[in-house]
Structure 1
């Protein structure tokens, strides 16, 4: 993980010099539905955050602290490379008067995003994302095997400064027993731009759609927003409510994104 940050810091000024074009940052956070757009040729963008999950079930309380981070590198005007991780993680479990704390790093995911088409008429702006999930994290947070996903991001601009985003997808993962399975992904978000700087959203997300024997589906209702400090710097926050027993009761995040 330290090597990942070192590489990002070394690459940032080089990529910034490659393209002095002044545009406005568009992020893939804090909502679950990804943007259909890419960062642009020669550009680098970091989207990092602090996140907290809280859950209580069968007398067991759990809190997970982590630092989701996404690095985006512009390969062309329509394609970007991506490195994503939950970063540094800390899981605190309280059960029967005993507390157990586990620390480590999350897995790393490598991917690409292709901006397929701009919005035109009834056709939405379209992007395709393909990721490979590596079982590379610390033992306490490592997946049972390598996985991957393929997602389609579609976005429409609506009257009244509203925007609609939809993201269906499919994922290949391993459950807790190590059995490989294919599951679904889905997200639906409605956003509102209140000014050139401020936007908010409401969202339904299903990061995992799976049968019960594979751990079941994970679904949330999310609200949040982002604010542009400058054209290249965004701060954001979001709150999520779990909609079933497989999902943490509450999740909260606050983030910072910078485009170079």
Structure 2
């Protein structure tokens, strides 16, 4: 009985925040696509974006993210704090044996800074950056050094329902000095006030390695202004890319 009352109380609390959030519009998330949103969490609001990911690299390797949690807080109107915590699993089949690592991934901290607001031909632009911390998470997943990454996030409204997003940036893996250049390009459409979808191409290129290009798409459903469900799937376009991947998640925004 106590458990039932606790669940009911939680849902009553979540739905009671809806009226307070109607004035700031629907939740804007960085999932499920790889194109990070140029929008920031409103000042004084907390946002949690979480999900599950399955990646089938090939017949010998599968990767799982049982919980990919992105925690965001709007510190100022133009500044957002971020924390990334993931619980991952990597399975690699070898001749006569198998490597199966499961645990926390290295923790990443970061920020998103607004640069411009959309105005006429001027797109909305923001700068996203993170630092992945060494010696955090499961030893098999740890990095030896700080691993920085950054992206310029650019988005533009095309019609009342159609928008386009572009990310350009680079990342370092904390093991080697070589940078990985990254790009994403996504086209999103709001089919109704609550139901939307997207299609996207994105990729990575590291010096000395073959580029990794991928294609994905998915759907979002807005339960309330502050709650969203999502589902997506994709496939690799390059020889070194995973064969396919699947994801599903949930996002929640709460006032302070």
Whether these two folds match at TM > 0.5 is yes
TM bracket (short chain) = 0.7 to 0.9
Match of 2:5 in 1: none
**Whole-angstrom CA distance in 2 between matches of 1:126 and 1:54:** 33
Give the Å deviation of 1:173: 3.0
Answer yes or no: is the 8 Å Cα contact 1:235–1:256 preserved in 2.
yes
The counterpart of 2:182, out of the listed 185, 197, 200, is 185
Match of 1:123 in 2: 122
**Whole-angstrom CA distance in 1 between matches of 2:145 and 2:201:** 28
For each residue in 1:192-230, what CA deviation from the matched residue of structure 2 results, as whole angstroms up to 9, or x when unmatched?
Answer: 110111111110112x32123xx5433210111111011
Give the Å deviation of 1:115: 1.6
Match of 2:205 in 1: 209
Answer yes or no: is the 8 Å Cα contact 1:40–1:79 preserved in 2.
no
Answer yes or no: is the 8 Å Cα contact 2:21–2:226 preserved in 1.
no
The counterpart of 2:195, out of the listed 186, 193, 198, is 198
Q: CA separation of 1:172/1:95 partners in 2, compared to 1, >3 Å: closer, same or farther? A: closer
- SS of the aligned residue for 2:229 comes to strand
- SS of the aligned residue for 2:216 comes to strand
How many aligned positions are there? 235
**Whole-angstrom CA distance in 2 between matches of 1:129 and 1:120:** 21
Match of 1:154 in 2: 154
1:5-154 pair list within 5 angstroms: 20-22=20-22, 23-56=25-58, 61-66=60-65, 67-85=67-85, 87-96=86-95, 98-135=97-134, 136-154=136-154
Answer yes or no: is the 8 Å Cα contact 1:152–1:167 preserved in 2.
yes
**Whole-angstrom CA distance in 2 between matches of 1:96 and 1:173:** 28
Answer yes or no: is the 8 Å Cα contact 1:83–1:109 preserved in 2.
yes
- SS of the aligned residue for 1:246 comes to coil
**Whole-angstrom CA distance in 1 between matches of 2:73 and 2:193:** 25
Give the Å deviation of 1:143: 2.8
**Whole-angstrom CA distance in 2 between matches of 1:179 and 1:163:** 37
Q: CA separation of 1:183/1:113 partners in 2, compared to 1, >3 Å: closer, same or farther? A: same
Determine whether 1:223 maps to 2:237.
no
Give the Å deviation of 1:97: 5.1
TM-score (norm 2): 0.85
Match of 1:251 in 2: 245
Match of 1:165 in 2: 165
Give the Å deviation of 1:245: 2.9
Answer yes or no: is the 8 Å Cα contact 2:179–2:207 preserved in 1.
no
Q: CA separation of 1:244/1:144 partners in 2, compared to 1, >3 Å: closer, same or farther? A: farther
Give the Å deviation of 1:168: 0.5
- SS of the aligned residue for 1:140 comes to helix
- SS of the aligned residue for 1:75 comes to strand
Q: CA separation of 1:172/1:89 partners in 2, compared to 1, >3 Å: closer, same or farther? A: closer
The counterpart of 2:234, out of the listed 231, 236, 240, is 240
Q: Structure 1 stretches of 5 or more lacking a match? A: 1-12
Give the Å deviation of 1:172: 2.9
